[in-house]
Structures are given as C-alpha cells and as structure tokens.
Amino acid sequence: MNIRAARTGKGESEVIGEALRRDLELDLLDQIWAHETMNEDKAPSAK
C-alpha cells in the first residue's frame, strides 16, 4: 500500500479505502443505485 500511495500521490487510507470499495464491489452498487434513482419528473405519479 505504501508504494501505491506514493506512486499515486494519495494517502495510505485513501488507497486502502479504494481497494476495499473495489474488492467489495461497493462501486458497482453505487453505479446501480445511481442508475436506478429517478428524479420526480421521471417517476410515475401515484394517483
């Protein structure tokens, strides 16, 4: 982690956080939720 942090200019905690998000596929979940989230204009009315 130290080498990757040094190469990217990021802190170790940021590199570790990115690795955890990638390995646990949390980024994929964020993308799915962002895609599935509709604003009020696109959502069907509940009349």
Q: What is the pLDDT of residue 10?
A: 93
Question: What's residue 22's pLDDT?
Answer: 85
Distance CA 44, CA 42 (A): 6
Residues near 8 by Cβ (< 8 Å), separated by ≥ 6?
15
The answer, yes or no, to whether residue 47 has pLDDT greater than 60, is no
Phi, psi of 14 (to 5 degrees): -65, -40
What is the tens place of the pLDDT at every residue in 1-45? Answer: 788 888 999 999 999 988 988 888 887 877 787 877 655 556 566
Question: Where are the domains positioned within the chain?
Answer: 2-36
Q: Which amino acid is at 20?
A: L
What is the reported pLDDT for 2?
84
pLDDT (0 to 100) of residue 35: 76
Cα angle value 14/26/22 (rounded, 5°): 55
